[in-house]
Structures are given as structure tokens and as C-alpha cells.
């Protein structure tokens, strides 16, 4: 049986305040990329998931950027492929690769940093994703494989709430609970928006947490922009040898941090000219000052 991954000492982890600063930096870097790339960036969903990905890559996931093939590492699956840029930057800030490399090559032919993540092009990415509704099934298979081999790492996937209208998600949810996969964690970016509509207009998901509980999952419902709540949810995860998968339903705002993007369907994807970039960065700074009071 494989030995469990060594736990990172609490003193080595960033504080909530440090994580909040990292999330602000991540959002600023997202906006800069959106202002330099000539095509559209899925900026709304990137901004809604920035706190979650900061908490995962800088606090929750047991991963080592200098040893990406370590068999005891936690596995992360970005089911919400539209948030690839946010994941790339979070990984760069953790030390996997350089942020400048993302800015210089994003979206170009043969770039490691495509609109959706590709494990062949970018070492450190566990799964090639982008087709929505596939991440949880992949994560269930990975968690089941780990359980069968006596491995003790976690498998974590980040999904958008819109994709959970797909049947493949609920089939995987049943499989995860039926196989008692306590090493499996799903995080839902519950921003309540799709590309061209608000999600409850298309598919009725509420009562959302109750549905997951009915499918046999341990449910944690939090504010996905409250870093202390994200840290507490990570700290309180059951042991990986427990018999119930966990879903963290994180209530978020699409476009979070930039007032003219928040709750705005027009900013599912877009680009920023020089004037809009300056306006967005000022809005982000204003939000930071308001929330730090």
C-alpha cells in the first residue's frame, strides 16, 4: 500500500489575508491578459472562480510544482474548461510556469495555453477538458482508481453550475456515492449564469444543495468569495478513507470584482481595450478597498 502524501504544515500555508491578496493579484493579471489578447477571454467566469482557484492551488491541493509526477499528489480536474485562463494564472502564481509565458502565447497555434486546457501541451494539467459535464465523470474514475490501488490522495474537480444541468454529471454523482469515494471533492462555481441567460431560466437547479444530498453527497454550502469560508471548507474535508464524497457549493458572482461586469451577460466572454482595461482595474481596486474596510 502506498504511503499517504506528507501533509503540508499549517505554518507553511498562506493566511486568509495572504490568500485574499493573491486572489486580488490573480484578478488583476486576468484583466491584463484580457487587455492584451486580441481575441475573447471568458473573463466573467474566470473572475467568479478566482477565489476558489486561489484557495485550491495556494492552500488546499497537495501538489509540488517542482515534482508534478509525484504519485502521492492530489489531482485537480478543471471541468469548467472556460476558466482555463484563471487556472493557468493560479498555477503560474504557485510556480508551475511563468505568467509572462501565458501572456506571450495564449491562444496561439501550438501554445501550451489554449482556450481550454490540454494535458499533452501543458505538463501539470491532469486532464484535457472543455466539453462541459465531463469533469466529474473523469474525477470519479480517477478517485475510484486511487481507492483500488490503496492511494490516499484527493481528486478535486471544479465545475460550473450551468454544466450540472447535464445528465452525465448526475450519473457520475451517483457513481461517486455508490462507490463510497470519500477521496472525491467537487467544487461548484455557483454563479447562476450561462452564456446568454441566467441558469434558472433554462434548467431549474434549486433546491440545489438538497439534490446533491439526495444523491448521497456530503454538502458544504458557502460564499465562494469569502476566503475564510473556503479555507474552513478545505480544512473540514473528511479523511480520504471516508465513505462519502463531498461537494462544496460556492455561491459566486460572475464578473466578481469589476462592477460593470458583475451579473452582466455581455461579459461571459470579451476583450478589453486600453480605456476599458484602465476602467476595469480601477473598479477592481475600488472593490478591494471597499471589502477591506
Within-domain flag for 60: yes
Within-domain flag for 8: no
Residue 62, domain CATH: 3.40.50.970
Within-domain flag for 4: no
Of the given ranges (108-117, 194-203, 244-253), which has the lowest mean pLDDT?
A: 194-203
Within-domain flag for 267: yes
List, in order, residues 6 or more apart from 129 with CB less than 8 Å away.
77, 78, 79, 81, 116, 117, 135, 138
Q: How much is the pTM?
A: 0.94
Q: Exposed, middle or buried by CB within 10 Å (0-12, 13-18, 19+), for 105?
A: middle
Q: What is the pLDDT of residue 173?
A: 98
Within-domain flag for 212: yes
Within-domain flag for 143: yes
Within-domain flag for 110: yes
Of the given ranges (9-13, 167-171, 256-260), which has the lowest mean pLDDT?
A: 9-13
Which run of H or of E encompasses 29?
A: helix 16-36
Q: What is the pLDDT of residue 8?
A: 46
Question: Based on the structure, what is the number of domains in the chain?
Answer: 1
Q: What is the pLDDT of residue 6?
A: 40
Within-domain flag for 58: yes
Q: What is the mean pLDDT of the chain?
A: 93
Q: What is the pLDDT of residue 196?
A: 74
- What is the extent of the structural domain holding 117? 15-292
Could you list the beta-strand ranges (E) of the chain: 75-78, 155-160, 184-190, 218-223, 246-251
Q: For residue 89, name the pLDDT band (cuts at 50, 70, 90).
A: very high
Amino acid at each position: 500500500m502506498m504511503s499517504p502524501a506528507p501533509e503540508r504544515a499549517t505554518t507553511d500555508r498562506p493566511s486568509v489575508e495572504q490568500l485574499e491578496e493573491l486572489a486580488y493579484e490573480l484578478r488583476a493579471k486576468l484583466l491584463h491578459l484580457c487587455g492584451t489578447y486580441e481575441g475573447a477571454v471568458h473573463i466573467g467566469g474566470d473572475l467568479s472562480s478566482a477565489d476558489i482557484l486561489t484557495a485550491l492551488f495556494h492552500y488546499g491541493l497537495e501538489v509540488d510544482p517542482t515534482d508534478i509526477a509525484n504519485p502521492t499528489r492530489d489531482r485537480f480536474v478543471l471541468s469548467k474548461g472556460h476558466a482555463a485562463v484563471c487556472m493557468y494564472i493560479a498555477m503560474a502564481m504557485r510556480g508551475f510556469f511563468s505568467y509572462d509565458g501565458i501572456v506571450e502565447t495564449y491562444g496561439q497555434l501550438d501554445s501550451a495555453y489554449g482556450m481550454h486546457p490540454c494535458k499533452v501541451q501543458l505538463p501539470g494539467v491532469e486532464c484535457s477538458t472543455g466539453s462541459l459535464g465531463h469533469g466529474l465523470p473523469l474525477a470519479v474514475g480517477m478517485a475510484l482508481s486511487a481507492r483500488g490501488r490503496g492511494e490516499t490522495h484527493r481528486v478535486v474537480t471544479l465545475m460550473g453550475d450551468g454544466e450540472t444541468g447535464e445528465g452525465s454529471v448526475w450519473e457520475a454523482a451517483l457513481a461517486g456515492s455508490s462507490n463510497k469515494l470519500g477521496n472525491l471533492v467537487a467544487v461548484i462555481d455557483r454563479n447562476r449564469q450561462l452564456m446568454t441567460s441566467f441558469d434558472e431560466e433554462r434548467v431549474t437547479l434549486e433546491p440545489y444543495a438538497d439534490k446533491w444530498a439526495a444523491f448521497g453527497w456530503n454538502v458544504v454550502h458557502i460564499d465562494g468569495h469569502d476566503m475564510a469560508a473556503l479555507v474552513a471548507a478545505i480544512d473540514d474535508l473528511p479523511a480520504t478513507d471516508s465513505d462519502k464524497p463531498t461537494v462544496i457549493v460556492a455561491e459566486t458572482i460572475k464578473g466578481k470584482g469589476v462592477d460593470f461586469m458583475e451579473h452582466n451577460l455581455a461579459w461571459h466572454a470579451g476583450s478589453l481595450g486600453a480605456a476599458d482595461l484602465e476602467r476595469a482595474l480601477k473598479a477592481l481596486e475600488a472593490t478591494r478597498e471597499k471589502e477591506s474596510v
